[in-house]
Structure 1
Amino acid sequence: MRNLTAGTLAEMDAPQQRHIHLLDIALDGQTISITDDFTDVVIGLKTYTATGHLLQFDHDGDADGMQINALTVTLSGVDQSMIASALQYDFLGRRLTLLRTYFDENGVIQAPFMLFDGRCDGPAIEESPDDGSCTVQVKASSHFVDFERVRSRLTNLESQQQWFPSDKGFEFVAAQPQDIQWGGA
């Protein structure tokens, strides 16, 4: 479980909740910081620019959104400066973080906590000439999204020769003992 503050835990249990998301995408020398709130949000020295209902998140995770492996961020109604940023930077492999924070009944913001930390797969831009709308979509995956996936390359002769037909480096691997102790007796 995350280290959540008492204030955040209290607001998560409250009958009426108000929470917002804070999104950071790290680019070369610049970080895009936006929020789905209707006003700009300042946390510490960082300002998250308000996008309101124009920012949406689609993720594969558990029901309460506490564990997310893949995330799609959609920003609709995008102005030309955001499109220019999307086209100017190479998003592939860039860090994307998504935080959530709650407000108490007096409107005081609680400590944000991490929902997602991963790497961008890249942006997709859709423009509609009919109605003039534009949508920017960024997909990202967590570091462990395919942790349990079996890789296609094995450490045996057959797998090695698929890529390097004349390489005999794994020729005698099958004859080796299965339990090899490295660096000790």
Structure 2
Amino acid sequence: MTRPLDQATAAAVRAGHVPYLFFVQMDFSQPLRVCSAGYDIEWNGATWLGIGALGGIEPIQEQAGLEAIGVRLTLAGVPPELIAITLAEQYQGKACQIWFAPLREDLQLAAAPVRLFSGRMDTMNTEVGETAKVTVSAESRMVSWERAKVRRYNHEDQQARYPGDRGFEFVAQMVEKQLTWGR
């Protein structure tokens, strides 16, 4: 898949020495936003917690066709208050995004970060010690492409999803109904 790059990003990447950052966002009830800098960074209207060496991101595979891809990333040095969020909440199916950003000589963003991955969290392993380490596997949304949709178009299913909605109330009566149009 081709990624659009603006002129500033392309020029920054072509330079001889390119310092860079990764931004990772995992959407819990309180989004976990971390970056690979050793200091906090303001970007996209939020403060991204700098945890230094991010830990690791396995190479993100690019696909030419419609195929599901996944990524595995490790966050090391995560503060205890953020670990409490990862342990207490349901995480499967929540959004996970990764961005790449080249930096200028003064270690500020040279251009707008480029999104490398956008998907949903699948599995998570948390190791708590003096510093915490979180390993997350995430999958692209294409994983659900071939999954069977478990939706019934009847009154009961509609009530389970939208209590009080009467849109499918008379569907069962219409199955074998003979309708005469005109005279």
TM-score if structure 1 supplies the norm length?
0.67
Structure 1 32/127 Cα, relative in aligned 2: closer, same or farther at 3 Å? closer
Whose strand proportion is higher, 1 or 2? 1
Aligned to 2:14: 13
Q: Check the 8 A contact 2:60/2:117 in 1, yes or no.
A: no
Return the offset for 1:107: 3.6
Aligned to 1:55: 55
1:22-57 residue CA offsets vs partner (Å, 9 max, x unmatched): 1111123x2111001111111131111000014321
Return the offset for 1:86: 1.0
1:54-99 residue CA offsets vs partner (Å, 9 max, x unmatched): 432123425xxxxx92111212234321221111111100000001
* 1:141-180 aligned within 5 A: 141-144=139-142
- Alignment identity in percent? 23
Aligned to 1:2: 3
Long gaps (5+) in structure 2: 63-67, 149-183
Paired amino acid for 1:95 = A
1:94 matched to 2:129: no
* 1:58-97 aligned within 5 A: 58-61=58-61, 69-97=69-97
- Measured on the aligned residues, the alpha-carbon RMSD in Å equals 2.4
Secondary structure of 1:59's aligned partner: coil
Structure-1 separation of matches of 2:115 and 2:5: 10
Task: Count the aligned residue pairs.
Answer: 141
Secondary structure of 2:13's aligned partner: helix
Structure 1 8/121 Cα, relative in aligned 2: closer, same or farther at 3 Å? same
Q: Check the 8 A contact 1:59/1:70 in 2, yes or no.
A: no
Long gaps (5+) in structure 1: 63-67, 153-185
Structure 1 73/8 Cα, relative in aligned 2: closer, same or farther at 3 Å? same
1:105 matched to 2:105: yes
Q: Check the 8 A contact 1:90/1:122 in 2, yes or no.
A: no
Aligned to 2:117: 116
Structure-1 separation of matches of 2:43 and 2:77: 25
